[in-house]
Amino acid sequence: MNIRIEESWKQRLASEFEKDYFFRLTEFIRAEYTRTTVFPPARLIFNAFDQCPFDSTKVVIIGQDPYHGFGQAHGLCFSVTEGTPAPPSLKNIFKEIQNDLGKPIPPHGDLTRWARQGVLLLNATLTVQAHQAGSHQRKGWEEFTDAAIKLLAEEREHLVFILWGAYAQKKGAFIDRSKHLVLTSAHPSPLSAHNGFFGNRHFSRTNEYLAMHGIEGIDW
Protein backbone atom coordinates (compact mmCIF):
# COMPACT_ATOMS: atom_id res chain seq x y z
CA MET A 1 0.00 0.00 0.00
CA ASN A 2 1.41 3.39 -0.99
CA ILE A 3 1.03 5.72 1.99
CA ARG A 4 2.04 9.39 1.77
CA ILE A 5 4.35 9.81 4.72
CA GLU A 6 7.88 11.14 5.24
CA GLU A 7 10.39 8.83 3.54
CA SER A 8 12.42 7.68 6.57
CA TRP A 9 9.22 6.68 8.35
CA LYS A 10 7.80 5.14 5.19
CA GLN A 11 10.79 2.81 4.92
CA ARG A 12 10.67 1.72 8.56
CA LEU A 13 6.89 1.33 8.75
CA ALA A 14 6.56 -0.41 5.38
CA SER A 15 5.68 -3.76 6.96
CA GLU A 16 2.83 -2.15 8.94
CA PHE A 17 1.25 -0.84 5.74
CA GLU A 18 0.93 -4.41 4.44
CA LYS A 19 -0.77 -5.88 7.52
CA ASP A 20 -4.44 -6.80 7.59
CA TYR A 21 -5.27 -4.36 10.37
CA PHE A 22 -3.89 -1.45 8.32
CA PHE A 23 -5.95 -2.41 5.27
CA ARG A 24 -9.08 -2.51 7.44
CA LEU A 25 -8.12 0.80 9.05
CA THR A 26 -7.58 2.43 5.66
CA GLU A 27 -10.96 1.28 4.39
CA PHE A 28 -12.66 2.60 7.52
CA ILE A 29 -10.88 5.99 7.38
CA ARG A 30 -11.59 6.51 3.68
CA ALA A 31 -15.28 5.80 4.28
CA GLU A 32 -15.35 8.20 7.23
CA TYR A 33 -13.86 11.07 5.23
CA THR A 34 -16.43 10.40 2.50
CA ARG A 35 -19.52 10.27 4.69
CA THR A 36 -18.82 12.73 7.51
CA THR A 37 -16.46 15.43 8.79
CA VAL A 38 -13.16 14.07 10.09
CA PHE A 39 -10.19 15.86 11.64
CA PRO A 40 -7.43 16.59 10.86
CA PRO A 41 -7.69 17.26 7.11
CA ALA A 42 -6.67 14.08 5.29
CA ARG A 43 -3.39 15.56 4.02
CA LEU A 44 -2.32 16.16 7.65
CA ILE A 45 -3.03 12.71 9.11
CA PHE A 46 0.70 11.89 9.20
CA ASN A 47 1.87 15.45 9.91
CA ALA A 48 3.70 14.41 13.11
CA PHE A 49 5.88 12.07 11.05
CA ASP A 50 6.26 14.47 8.13
CA GLN A 51 7.55 17.27 10.36
CA CYS A 52 9.88 15.03 12.40
CA PRO A 53 11.87 12.40 10.46
CA PHE A 54 12.92 9.23 12.25
CA ASP A 55 16.61 10.10 12.61
CA SER A 56 15.85 13.69 13.66
CA THR A 57 13.62 12.67 16.56
CA LYS A 58 14.94 13.65 20.00
CA VAL A 59 11.75 13.79 22.08
CA VAL A 60 8.42 11.94 21.86
CA ILE A 61 5.28 13.39 23.42
CA ILE A 62 2.32 11.01 23.35
CA GLY A 63 -1.25 12.27 23.19
CA GLN A 64 -4.48 10.32 22.86
CA ASP A 65 -6.94 11.77 20.33
CA PRO A 66 -6.88 14.70 17.89
CA TYR A 67 -8.95 17.73 18.87
CA HIS A 68 -12.44 17.30 17.44
CA GLY A 69 -13.45 20.95 16.90
CA PHE A 70 -13.26 22.89 13.64
CA GLY A 71 -9.90 24.47 12.85
CA GLN A 72 -8.04 22.81 15.71
CA ALA A 73 -6.35 19.52 14.79
CA HIS A 74 -3.50 19.52 12.29
CA GLY A 75 -1.79 16.23 13.03
CA LEU A 76 0.38 17.21 16.02
CA CYS A 77 -0.75 16.25 19.52
CA PHE A 78 -1.70 19.14 21.83
CA SER A 79 -1.11 21.61 18.97
CA VAL A 80 -3.69 23.78 17.21
CA THR A 81 -3.49 25.78 14.00
CA GLU A 82 -2.38 29.40 14.30
CA GLY A 83 -5.34 31.68 14.90
CA THR A 84 -7.24 29.03 16.90
CA PRO A 85 -7.50 29.66 20.66
CA ALA A 86 -5.27 27.37 22.71
CA PRO A 87 -7.30 24.61 24.43
CA PRO A 88 -7.02 24.29 28.24
CA SER A 89 -4.39 21.51 28.23
CA LEU A 90 -2.14 23.49 25.89
CA LYS A 91 -2.56 26.60 28.03
CA ASN A 92 -1.34 24.59 31.02
CA ILE A 93 1.63 23.28 29.02
CA PHE A 94 2.61 26.86 28.24
CA LYS A 95 2.19 27.83 31.91
CA GLU A 96 4.53 25.03 32.97
CA ILE A 97 7.12 26.11 30.38
CA GLN A 98 6.87 29.66 31.71
CA ASN A 99 7.35 28.47 35.30
CA ASP A 100 10.08 25.99 34.40
CA LEU A 101 12.14 28.04 31.94
CA GLY A 102 10.92 31.61 32.37
CA LYS A 103 9.78 31.80 28.74
CA PRO A 104 6.79 33.99 27.84
CA ILE A 105 3.56 32.31 26.78
CA PRO A 106 3.52 32.30 22.94
CA PRO A 107 0.88 34.17 20.95
CA HIS A 108 -0.49 31.01 19.31
CA GLY A 109 -0.73 27.27 19.89
CA ASP A 110 0.90 25.91 16.74
CA LEU A 111 3.71 23.60 17.92
CA THR A 112 5.17 22.95 14.46
CA ARG A 113 8.38 24.67 15.53
CA TRP A 114 8.84 21.99 18.21
CA ALA A 115 8.29 19.23 15.66
CA ARG A 116 10.90 20.71 13.33
CA GLN A 117 13.42 20.63 16.16
CA GLY A 118 12.90 16.91 16.72
CA VAL A 119 9.80 16.61 18.93
CA LEU A 120 7.49 13.86 17.65
CA LEU A 121 4.03 15.07 18.72
CA LEU A 122 2.22 11.77 18.33
CA ASN A 123 -1.40 11.04 19.11
CA ALA A 124 -2.24 7.38 19.70
CA THR A 125 -5.21 7.78 17.35
CA LEU A 126 -4.54 9.91 14.28
CA THR A 127 -8.09 10.81 13.24
CA VAL A 128 -11.42 11.64 14.86
CA GLN A 129 -14.97 12.38 13.75
CA ALA A 130 -16.03 15.99 14.30
CA HIS A 131 -17.36 16.59 17.81
CA GLN A 132 -17.12 12.86 18.65
CA ALA A 133 -14.19 12.34 21.02
CA GLY A 134 -12.72 8.86 20.77
CA SER A 135 -14.78 7.96 17.70
CA HIS A 136 -11.80 6.43 15.84
CA GLN A 137 -10.27 4.59 18.76
CA ARG A 138 -9.78 0.80 18.52
CA LYS A 139 -9.88 0.86 14.72
CA GLY A 140 -6.18 0.13 14.25
CA TRP A 141 -4.44 3.45 14.82
CA GLU A 142 -3.20 2.38 18.25
CA GLU A 143 -1.42 -0.63 16.76
CA PHE A 144 0.19 1.58 14.13
CA THR A 145 1.42 4.21 16.60
CA ASP A 146 2.66 1.47 18.96
CA ALA A 147 4.80 0.22 16.09
CA ALA A 148 6.27 3.69 15.52
CA ILE A 149 7.11 4.15 19.21
CA LYS A 150 8.63 0.66 19.36
CA LEU A 151 10.88 1.41 16.37
CA LEU A 152 12.20 4.54 18.06
CA ALA A 153 12.66 2.83 21.41
CA GLU A 154 14.55 -0.12 19.89
CA GLU A 155 16.60 1.51 17.13
CA ARG A 156 17.53 4.83 18.74
CA GLU A 157 19.27 5.77 22.00
CA HIS A 158 19.00 8.68 24.44
CA LEU A 159 15.53 9.80 23.42
CA VAL A 160 13.19 11.52 25.85
CA PHE A 161 9.68 10.07 26.08
CA ILE A 162 7.19 12.41 27.78
CA LEU A 163 4.13 10.56 29.06
CA TRP A 164 1.41 12.71 30.61
CA GLY A 165 -1.50 10.87 32.17
CA ALA A 166 -2.37 7.21 32.63
CA TYR A 167 -3.15 6.54 28.98
CA ALA A 168 0.24 7.74 27.68
CA GLN A 169 2.05 5.97 30.52
CA LYS A 170 0.41 2.67 29.65
CA LYS A 171 1.25 3.13 25.97
CA GLY A 172 4.91 3.77 26.80
CA ALA A 173 5.25 1.15 29.54
CA PHE A 174 7.56 -1.09 27.46
CA ILE A 175 10.24 1.59 26.83
CA ASP A 176 13.68 0.67 28.18
CA ARG A 177 14.42 3.17 30.95
CA SER A 178 18.13 2.32 30.87
CA LYS A 179 18.36 3.40 27.24
CA HIS A 180 16.06 6.44 27.22
CA LEU A 181 14.72 9.05 29.62
CA VAL A 182 11.04 8.48 30.37
CA LEU A 183 9.29 11.40 32.08
CA THR A 184 5.84 10.81 33.59
CA SER A 185 3.34 12.99 35.40
CA ALA A 186 -0.33 13.86 35.56
CA HIS A 187 -1.98 15.07 32.36
CA PRO A 188 -2.03 18.85 31.68
CA SER A 189 -5.82 18.83 31.53
CA PRO A 190 -7.42 21.24 34.04
CA LEU A 191 -8.93 18.16 35.70
CA SER A 192 -5.51 16.82 36.69
CA ALA A 193 -2.82 19.47 36.12
CA HIS A 194 -2.67 20.39 39.81
CA ASN A 195 -2.09 16.73 40.74
CA GLY A 196 1.50 16.68 39.51
CA PHE A 197 1.70 18.22 36.07
CA PHE A 198 2.52 21.68 37.34
CA GLY A 199 6.04 21.63 38.70
CA ASN A 200 7.14 18.51 36.82
CA ARG A 201 9.91 20.51 35.08
CA HIS A 202 9.77 18.15 32.11
CA PHE A 203 11.00 20.81 29.69
CA SER A 204 14.20 21.69 31.54
CA ARG A 205 14.78 18.04 32.46
CA THR A 206 14.50 17.08 28.79
CA ASN A 207 17.13 19.61 27.77
CA GLU A 208 19.43 18.63 30.64
CA TYR A 209 19.30 14.99 29.54
CA LEU A 210 19.88 15.83 25.88
CA ALA A 211 22.84 18.06 26.77
CA MET A 212 24.30 15.30 28.93
CA HIS A 213 24.41 13.12 25.80
CA GLY A 214 25.76 15.82 23.50
CA ILE A 215 22.42 16.51 21.82
CA GLU A 216 21.15 20.03 21.19
CA GLY A 217 18.16 20.87 23.37
CA ILE A 218 14.71 22.07 22.32
CA ASP A 219 13.79 25.75 22.20
CA TRP A 220 10.48 25.33 23.93
Among the listed residues 50, 65, 100, 110, the single catalytic one is 65
Say which residues have a Cβ less than 8 Å from residue 39's Cβ, sequence separation at least 6.
66, 67, 68, 69, 70, 72, 73, 127, 128, 129, 130
Q: 3-class DSSP state for residue 129?
A: strand
Q: Residue 197 in contact with residue 188, Cβ under 8 Å?
A: yes
Q: Minimal CA–CA distance to 40: which of 100, 117, 101, 123? A: 123
Whether 65 is a known active-site residue: answer: yes
**Separation CA 78–CA 121 (nearest Å):** 8
What are residue 173's phi and psi, to 5 degrees? -65, -25
- 3 state DSSP class of 119: strand
Contacting residues for 86 by C-beta, under 8 A, at least 6 apart? 80, 94, 108, 109
Burial class of 212 by CB neighbour count within 10 A (0 to 12, 13 to 18, 19+): exposed
Contact 158, 213 (CB under 8 A): yes
> Which amino acids are annotated catalytic?
65
